[in-house]
Amino acid sequence: MSLARNQSLALLALLVIIATTLSIALPSKFLTVINLQSMASQFPEFGLLALAMVLAMITGGIDLSIVAIANLCGVVAAYILSKSIGMEIAPSIAIFAAIIAVLIVSVICGLINGALIAKMNVPPILATLGTQGLFLGLAIVITGGHSISTFPEEFSFVGNANVAGIPVPFMIFTAAAIVVGVILQRSRQGFDMTLIGANFTVSKYSGIDNTRTIIKTYVIVAILAGIASLIMISRANSMRPGYGEAYLLSTILVAVLGGTDPDGGFGNLWGVILGIFILQLTQSGLNILSISPFFTKFIWGAALLSMLVVNFYLPKIVEHRKLERARFRENNRDIAGPE
Amino acid sequence: MNIKNLIKKQEIQLLIFVLIFSTMITIISPAFLTLENLFDLLRGSSGVAILAIGIFLVLLSGGIDVSSTTIAIAGQYIAINVMMAMGVNNIWFAFAISISVGISLGAINAIFISILNLPTLIVTLGTSSLFHGALLEFVGTRSINSGNLPRAIKEFGKYKILVLERANGSEYGLSVFFLIMVLVVILTWLILRYTMIGRGIYAIGGNQDAAERVGFKVKKIKLFVYCYAGFLAGIMGVMHVALIRSANPQYLVGSELSIIAAVVLGGTRISGGVGTISGTMIGVILITVLEKNLVLLGLSSYWQKFFVGLIIVMGVIITYGDLSRKKRDENSSAKAIEPSSQVNSASQVNKGDVL
């Protein structure tokens, strides 16, 4: 997979360039502990959603419902947490209950998506387009369109605390990324997912239970979205249905930017993590430089399109070079031959 | 075609569902079934229907387009701004500008999709972000409200092709929007039914390789599809501003997924090659009736998103769902043995199922 390594290296170079530029341009604002900490607590909720999107894409699918799942989980957790204050339940029990509820809700959402896609053969984009409305609609119905706020104080630990100077959301993200990495590279599930994405029929005839693997994938995707929801509501100390809708397109962008093949069969975890970092760095940098969010939007569109074009032409160029090199060697051998 | 086959068709099932739903609404709230309300419904949904036809063509060709709402709002906002800057007060001018913006942006989509052959979802995601960012950054973010809009736009919004009188003497009527929609439907139907490009759209959606071998110019057809979708988005942009009497560059964007859902509910296959205009229209009617009239059924508006989601899920299960395991296994093994099973959908081209 030298292409993957090349791409990760290119992204790493881009990251270093952006970081260096920002540090030189804004030494007093960018390269401060506070700014780094705030960045490290800002991106994990988005990063977890991006990891989820990558997993769905590796199997050749897509999950448009991740933000809606995060919303539904967030609303359920927020409901439990805010009710617990009135009912004078110990915060630790309330938080535990909220986390369990998020797990249950996210697994159910994932099972629904997985069943629609794998059992009923609905194309992933349509299945999750429908469930997106279903989950978000349910979140709106539960809250009546209002936001839910005031949680036990202890809960803000998840989104706002630092342990040894490292923000807790960052730790959660790191742990999740390691788990996803292990799943993708060291487990049967990851292998099966990649093969399904590469060729559905071949994987079926290789003795892989496609249905089971795909359902499992969408459950994992939903759990990641659920974890993201916990960070979201803790950081904002409230939950409003519809929060983070703009994340959806950005997750697809980062996944593709990081080298995930939207047709499935190939995903590059390092590339995606670098992509998430690049997105966060650029966003904070442009923010500090007070460049309008609209221009940022414009830049992201341009970045995604150029990445697509590069991804499309890079393999062709590499192939072309290989061919030329081979031809060159052949010619040399011809010349060297008679001697 | 006998009645049994007729009921099997998805459009008919959908139409029956719409009729049942409308009857329910009428029983609970008789105010629904008046000519005036029907005219209102048509006026409000004509623009969406035109946008849906553009998306329908894209889906038919095997692609997907999430940038159409952005193109519509870009055409609209640029047209209004140019009109105000130049002091032109003419509806044809507004259409001319909006449509040229629409076609140009559609052509940009087409370059990435047809010439570079990149995946349509990702490309249109990228271009919608690009177009919208550029619109907000370089054209403006200011909302232009009714007082400042050119008069021609407002007059166009009020123009009626059929005027009726209420009991108390005031007037109501059928908006010109409906006429535009009908013209677009007829034009699109003619293209799909009688031109090589139209037949080509079905063919490349069914099986691109086969279409290419048969001699269809795939690149040219795709170029046409995305430019035509941009053209329709341009028309819709002007209709939208005339409808809501306010131009805001943040409007419309974000509703593209529900329009795609309407088209898919109408029976258009997301993998391309299969779909009809009449199905698309019924899908749009279904979504519009559902979104606007749940309140009449006594459900609070909070349920709206949930029900639309539920309808989409049920719709896609009916279209794609294959609940019996046996049948599915047969299907997939048939696919494995005969890789050209897509010919199935391509062969539907010949039936002439356009409308």
Contact A116 B126 (CB under 8 A): no
Q: How many CB pairs (< 8 A) connect A and B? A: 156
Residue-number span of the structural domain to which A120 is assigned? 2-291
CA B85 – CA B80 distance, rounded (Å): 9
Per-residue buried b or exposed e for A198-235, using 16+ beta carbons within 10 Å of the residue's own CB = bebeebbeeebebbebbbbbbbbbbbbbbbbbbbbbbb
Is residue A302 domain-resident?
no
A-chain residues within 8 Å CB-CB of B134?
Answer: 298
Residue identified by tokens 């270093």 is A16
Name the domain count of chain A.
1
CA A296 – CA A51 distance, rounded (Å): 22
CA A60 – CA B54 distance, rounded (Å): 26
Q: Please report, for the domain that includes residue A23, its CATH number.
A: 1.10.3470.10
CA B311 – CA B77 distance, rounded (Å): 33
B314: closest CA of chain A, how far (Å):
9
Is some CB atom of chain A closer than 8 A to the CB atom of B48? no
**B286 touches B259 (CB < 8 A):** no
Contact B306 A120 (CB under 8 A): no
Element (H, E) at A166: strand A166-167
Q: Give all strands (DSSP E) within chain A, no chain letters.
A: 148-149, 162-163, 166-167, 238-239
Is residue A305 domain-resident?
no
CA A302 – CA A280 distance, rounded (Å): 17
What chain B holds in terms of domains, given with CATH numbers, is 3-351 (1.10.3470)
Is residue A335 domain-resident?
no
DSSP, residue by residue, B168-215: TS-EEEEEHHHHHHHHHHHHHHHHHHHSHHHHHHHHHHH-HHHHHHHT
Which residues pair with residue A238 across a beta bridge? Answer: A149
Is some CB atom of chain A closer than 8 A to the CB atom of B133? yes
A228: closest CA of chain B, how far (Å):
22
Is residue A74 domain-resident?
yes
A121 → closest Cβ in B302, B312, B328: B328
Contact A305 B317 (CB under 8 A): no
A-chain residues within 8 Å CB-CB of B305?
Answer: 133, 136-137, 140
Residue identified by tokens 């800057």 is B85
Q: What is the per-residue pLDDT across A235-294, written as a single tens digit (0 to 9) for each?
A: 888 888 888 877 888 888 888 888 887 777 777 788 889 989 988 888 888 888 878 888
pLDDT in tens, chain B (355 residues): 566 666 567 778 788 888 888 888 888 877 777 788 888 888 888 999 999 999 999 999 999 998 999 999 999 999 999 998 888 888 999 999 999 999 999 999 999 998 888 888 889 988 998 999 999 989 988 888 888 888 888 888 888 887 777 777 777 888 889 999 999 999 999 999 999 999 999 999 988 889 989 889 999 999 999 999 999 999 999 999 999 888 888 888 878 888 988 898 888 888 888 888 999 999 998 888 887 777 777 777 778 888 888 888 888 887 776 544 444 444 444 444 444 444 444 444 444 445 5
Contact A305 B127 (CB under 8 A): yes
A120 → closest Cβ in B136, B312, B323: B323
A232 three-state secondary structure: helix
CA A317 – CA A116 distance, rounded (Å): 40
Contact A121 B309 (CB under 8 A): no
**B80 touches B144 (CB < 8 A):** yes
Complex ipTM value? 0.81
B-chain residues within 8 Å CB-CB of A120?
Answer: 317, 320-323
